[in-house]
Each structure stands twice: as structure tokens, then as C-alpha cells.
Chains A and B, each alone.
Chain A
Amino acid sequence: MRKPAYGVLALFPSADALLKAIPKVKARGYAQLEAYTPYPVHGLDAALGLPESKLGVLVFLMAAFGAVGVFAFEWWANAVNYPLLTGGKNAFTWPAWIPPTLEGSIFLGTFTAALAMLFIFNGLPFFGHPLLQTKTIDEITRDRFALLIVPSGAAFDEADAAAALRAAGGAAVETLPAPSHETPDAAWWTRTALAIAAACAVAGGATAFAIRVFPTVKPMVNMEVQPRLDAQEPDSFFANGRGMRLPPAGTVPRGGTPILAASLDAAGRELIDPLPVTEFVLERGRRQFDRHCAVCHDRLGTGRASLSSVYTAKPADLQSSTMRKIADGSLYWVISQGYNTMPAYAADVSPDDRWAIVRYIRALQRSQDAPERDLK
């Protein structure tokens, strides 16, 4: 069986001619008509009996959703999730949230209006439209006005429809074939899937570049390069070639305690752990160790934490026999002064916390390879 035609089309030279032709064609019993025009012709909707657009309802709903959504987000972000308190006032500062609420509402409303009009209400894109396969469409988008009789019922007679259009003043009458609705085959799905995968790969690569590589490319080094001397940098200004000045002899940092021991061994002999033996001290030591030391020395002190792989000099294994034998005072001295590539922690960790760390290292050492009597 031959597919029924999409319709019979005729061209009119002006909008007026088209509007006059519609009642004539309708009078011959053709109720289902479509019109194609180069610009919106007012009066066509009434002549064709088109229903009012429902677009406004959808836009109103989306705009309202945008307003409520943005306002609720502002409230959640600034008053609940991360409360920003100003001048001791209530965090629910609704008047200040109105401008973004307005913008959110308009944004969603306008984009809904345009996109829903195109893609929902008008059913675009419809590249399979039979008009697009003809030369006639080029005239319609320029200056011709087309009327189309849609076939209704089995008794549709193309010749009669064409005659009706001609009688109403239509020219260049033609029959449009039915649009070809091909169901997509396996090859189409493969192509689509590949295209989506390629798009994802490109987007992913671009994102990785944008957040990982791009910020590290010069000159985007986040103010790393500045016309000033960093700590320990050499400089020719002073005779000794150092950028930093040495503090006068006997200088004591505010709030700090000087380490009086002269060397690692001396510290082991002279420094004495001042802390009492309590659970609190061990707990404090654990928290300080996990915060400052574990990133390199591992949480068990093995020296094999994830970061250790990037160092050429490996962090010390605190479970080694050397470290088990070393004196408490020497451990304290290393934490305070640094050793080899390990930096000093005197500025970051208070003396009591350093001793607590030493105490915790001892506990860690005892917890690993524990002798049998400790397990009883």
C-alpha cells in the first residue's frame, strides 16, 4: 500500500490572498489546514482555528521555581550550611537575597520560554519535514504564503484538493509525500554512542587541563614569583651573602622556649621529658602525630606514607632498631630542629606537644613487633 501523502500544498502571493483563500477551501469540506508564511500573519490563527498558546503557564511555573529555588539555596548556603553572621544579626537576611532571586527567576523563565517554544511546543527540530525536501520552502521563507490541505479520512482525493486550492487562487500546487520515519538502526546507535563518548573524552580532557595543568602554567603561578626574598634565600646585599639577618645573640622568640642542647647526642643526654604519664598526653600525642608527622612517616611510623614516594630521601622508619634505641631527648631535638631534609617543627608545634609526640612514637614502637609479655 502506498503511504498516504503529507498533504497538498499551494502558494499565494500575499498574506491577504492566503487569508481570503482559507474560508473558500474550508467551504469545500477541507477542515484540516496548515499554513506556512515568511512572517507571522495576524489573523491566521483565528482563520485556521488554532488554540491559544499554553507557553505562558509553563514559563510562569518555571520562573516561580527559579525564584523559590535560588532563594532556598541562598538561605541554605548562607544561613544553614555555612552561616555567615554579620554584626550579630539573624542569619536569615532575606532582603539581601532578593536580587539573585530575581535574576534566577528571569533566567529560568526566559530560557524556558525560548527552548520550550522551539523544542516542546513546536516539536523542532524536524528535519524530516517534507517541505524541507522541496524547492518551495525557499520561496516560503522569502515572500510566498503557502496553504496545505491535510488528508483526512480514506476518501481523500488529491486531485479534488488541488482543484479546491486552485479555485481559491493558489498557484504551484504540489503534493508533499509523507515524512520518512526511519527507526534508527544499529549503525546509528553505534555512531551516536561513539559521538557521545568522544564528547565526554574531550570535555573530560578539557576539564582536567583547566583545573590541573592550566593553573600551574606561567604566569599563573598564584603570586609564587614576587620581587622579595624568601626565607633562606641568598642575596648579595649583605657581606655574608645571606638574605636573612641573623638575630642578635641570646634572642628568644616570643612565646617560644629555646632549645639549649647543642647537638643531637647532647639533647639525648640533657633533655628530660617533663610530661606526666596520663592517657590525655598519649591522646594529645596521637592527634599531633597524625596531623604533622603521619603525612610522611605513616600513621604507624613506618616511613612509607603515600607522600614518601615523591621524596628522593625517604622519611625515616620510626620502627627501626636505630629509632627504638635513640633517646627521647634526641627525638625531641629532631622534631624541633629538623634533620637532613626534614624541616623544623618548632614554629608549628608547641614544646609540650613535641614531647607528647615523642611519647606517642614510643607507644607506636611498643605496639609493633610487641614481645609476648605485652600481649598478655
Chain B
Amino acid sequence: MSSLPESLREKPLVEGRVSLADLDEHVQSLSETNPPRSWYVAVSITSLVALVGLSTVGYMVSHGIGTMGNNEPVVWGFPIVNFVFWVGIGHAGTLISVILLLYRQRWRNAISRTAEAVTVFAFICAMMFPAIHIGRPWMPHWLLPYPNSRGMWIDFRSPLIWDVFAVFTYFGVSILFWYMGLIPDLASLRGRTKSKVKRAVYGLLSWGWVGDARHWLQYEKAYLILAGLTTTLALSVHSIVSMDFAASILPGWHMTIFPPYFVVGAAFSGFAGVVIVFAFVRTTMKLEGYITMRHMDLLNKMVLFLSCVMTYAYIMEGFTAWYSSNVFDRYIFANYVFGDQWWAGCLTIFCNCVLPQLLWFPKMRRSVPAMVTVAAGVTLGMWFERYTILILSLHRGYLPATWGTFRPTIVDAGILVGSIGIFLTLLLLFLKNMPIIAAWEVKPDIVHYQKDAEVEHA
């Protein structure tokens, strides 16, 4: 190891000299101690925002869909924009914890747990939107095939039904993967806690996990199988979401590039979301030793890479519209950037294609204000991308007589802001109460890098 030149040596993913017990002390003590006052302030603000959002949902339900901006011709307004946006944010967790696991990327270990939590909470926000925009949200079971006195079944040929199956499966599997990863850490918490009640609860939740070598063998096998299967899911879910659009004949939606384009977009916005979360978590929770600048650097490289793929997809989409010689397709794409809501299309391109190019500079990838600015820009840009695709396509259909302009209402805004509040509240509760770093995955890394350090010292 020490014979390698400095530049070729692997930089440790764990900074400083820590023991296995130190990790538990750092991470798992959080659920045993009282959080600082700033946590209470933050959670009060976010839960207030969430409450405002939920009240707005209540107002919308009791007064009807008409209180939102949805109307002919833009029948899918903010709810579907927000749905696609949140599903996209959720994709990073799966990509980090699953695909990077298959590639044996060690740097995923420290960030996988919180990224998976981001997935689960983003999905809770995402699933709220289709549920409330169906008009009668107390009848969501109509989306599922169940035997009924009408003798009818749902139409399995509909992309919207594929979407229901994809999203429910993804949500279920995300929770499963997350929980499975938590089991050994819950067993570890069971050993730490002083409270008898907590000990019983953690004991039950970890199913009496004792760390038997035979159990670990099966556990790792199951983890790998789950990762393999969830990879297909991570790639298929946003593809299926994109078919909600691509399977229609609307100009601007009817594109074969949509499935891969949506998957990349989802990963892109997801990684940006994760960068923001970790930029705050690692400093406020003093986890710089485990979630190092190298982690942030690698995450930012992913954002940069995905931004380049995104740019390619935009160019390809425009090229398809031009090359098709279809008047409507050409018009729609011109309308994105030159139409009456030109700012939405231009903001999308600026935030998603231009702004992330800053990350080519190593200094920017390692500067917290720079990375948060870029990531926030990407998050905003990806929201406006969905706005552009959805609303700017819908309001200019094939029949110019039906053209209209979409105007969101205060109810739309309230529900969107409320969903951010719900997400942040859940995230804050998670950060306080759960082991936010997968200890059983990071502990071998600690041993690995300490060994390297010892060899160097010797």
C-alpha cells in the first residue's frame, strides 16, 4: 500500500481515527439524547407548513377540484407536476443504495440509509397527489382490481393503471429495503438503550437479531437479490410514469425518448435533493468524519454527469421534433422557449444544463455554498421541466380552438408548499429517531481504512 504514489492511493472514506464503538456513539446516541433547540425550531416550522398544506388539501376536497388551476385544456395541472417531481426525488435513494451496491461502491455505505429515507418520504408526498386529484379521494380503491357488484375490472392496458402498480410496488419495496437494512442497527440500538420499553420495542423490531454468521450469510444474499430486483424497479418505475404521457398522442408527449429521459431526470433531481440533505446533515449533526467531502465530491460528480445526459436528452428531443417535420411537434418545442410562458422552458435549460457545469471545477464540488446553490437550482429546474412538459404541452393541443392558458391558484401553491413541509417534517423526525448511518455497512469500512492507516504508520 505504502509503495503506491500519493495520487494513486485511495482516499479514506472515514476521516480521523475512530473505533467501531465510536461510530455507534456518534450516530446511535442521537436517538437517546435530546436534540438541540434548533431541531425543535426547525420541526415546528416544517410541521406548521405541512399543516397548512393538509388544511389546503381539506379545503380542496370539500370544495372540489375546481379550486385548483386544473381545467380544460390543462386537465393535469400542479398535482401531476408535483407527483412526477416527488417520484423523481425519490429515485436517488434507490440508485445510491441499490445500483451503487451492485457496483460495489464503498462510498454509498455511509449515505445509503438517509438516501433511502429520502426515497420513502418523497414517495409519501408523491402518492398524495394522484390520490387527491382523482376528485373523490375517499375512493382510491377504485384504482385497484377488486371484485365488485358492478362486475367490472380496471383496464390493465391503461398506462395510468401501470403507473398505479409501478408506484405501489416501488413504495412497498423501498420501505422493505429500508427496513431490512435497519434490522441489524435496531439490534445494535437494543443493546445501547437504557430504557426497558425501548429495549423491548427495538428487540421486537429487530426480530431478535443476534448477528449469527449463518444469519448474515442469508441476510447478505437477500440484500443482494433485493438490490438486483430493485434495480429493474428503479429503471422501470419512471419509465412507466413517462408512459402516462408518451402513450398519448399529444404533441410534445408522444416521444419514444420519454422513458430513458424520465429515468435520467428522476436520478438527476434525486441526486440534487440528496446533496442538499447531506450538505445540511453532515455539518449540523457533526458527521463530517463519516460523510466526508469525498462523498460530497462523488455525489456532485453524479449530478454533473446526469446533467450532461439530461442536456443530451433535451437536444435529442428538440432534434426529434425538428427532424419529424411535424408542424405541431416543431411548434410545441418552439413554444417551450419562445411561447407565452417562455420563462419556464428557459429556466429549465438554465438550471439543468448550464448551472451544473460549475461542478467541473473541483473547488466547486467541495464548496458547500456552491454545491447547495447548484443542487437547489437543479431541484427548481427539474420541477419546471415537469411544468414545461406537462402544462406547456397540454395547453397547445392539436386543435387551436381548444388552446388555453394555465393559471395556478393559491390552493395549488398551498398544496405544493405543504408537501415540502410534510417531506421535511418526516425527514427531521427520522434524523432524530433512527440510526441515520447504516452502522453494519460502515463498520467494515472503518476496519478497512484503519488497517491501511496502520500499514502506512508501520
Q: Which A positions have Cβ atoms within 8 angstroms of B?
A: 14-15, 34-41, 44-45, 48, 50, 53, 55-56, 59, 63, 73-74, 77-78, 81-82, 84, 86, 93, 96-97, 99-100, 102-104, 106-107, 109-111, 113-114, 116-118, 121-122, 124-127, 129, 131-132, 137-143, 214-215, 218-220, 222-223
Contact = CB atoms under 8 A, between A and B. Distances in A.
Contact of B211 (A102, A126, A140, A214): A140
A111 B179 CA distance: 12
B184 A39 contact: yes
Contacts, number: 202
Nearest to B150: A82
B213 A137 contact: no
Given A77-B153, A103-B166, A113-B225, A14 B190 contact: no
Contact of A141 (B152, B157, B187): B187
Nearest to B145: A77
A114 B219 CA distance: 8
B155 A84 contact: yes
Contact of A137 (B62, B172, B210): B210
A196 B198 CA distance: 25
Of B209, B211, B439, B441, chain A has the most CB atoms within 10 Å of the CB of B211
A136 to B, nearest CB: 10
B24 interface: yes
Given A39-B443, A55-B221, A96-B156, A113 B213 contact: no
Contact of A124 (B62, B138, B207, B230): B207
A125 B204 CA distance: 8
Given A38-B439, A39-B440, A106-B169, 19 more contacts: A36-B211, A36-B212, A39-B184, A40-B219, A41-B216, A48-B214, A50-B213, A102-B232, A103-B166, A107-B169, A109-B225, A110-B177, A113-B222, A117-B219, A132-B208, A138-B190, A141-B184, A143-B21, A222-B136
24 contacts: A36-B210, A39-B216, A45-B217, A50-B214, A53-B217, A53-B221, A55-B222, A56-B225, A59-B229, A77-B154, A78-B153, A86-B157, A104-B169, A107-B172, A111-B173, A121-B218, A122-B214, A124-B209, A131-B210, A139-B191, A142-B192, A143-B24, A220-B61, A220-B138
B30 interface: no
B145 A219 contact: no
B285 to A, nearest CB: 20
A38 B169 CA distance: 31
Contacts of B183: 118
Given A15-B447, A99-B162, A37 B218 contact: no
A125 to B, nearest CB: 4
Contact of A122 (B156, B165, B190, B215): B215
Given A78-B156, A100-B162, A37 B444 contact: no
A100 B156 CA distance: 8
B157 A110 contact: no
B192 A122 contact: no
A138 to B, nearest CB: 3
Contacts of A104: 165, 169
B429 to A, nearest CB: 24
B45 interface: no
A99 B236 contact: yes
A231 B155 CA distance: 35
A94 to B, nearest CB: 10
A37 B216 contact: yes
Contacts of B177: 110, 114
Contact of B213 (A45, A106, A131): A45
Contacts of B153: 77-78, 81-82
B19 interface: yes
B188 interface: yes
A279 B209 CA distance: 78
Contact of B157 (A45, A50, A78): A78
A116 B441 CA distance: 22
Contacts of B151: 81-82
A126 B192 contact: no
Nearest to B137: A220
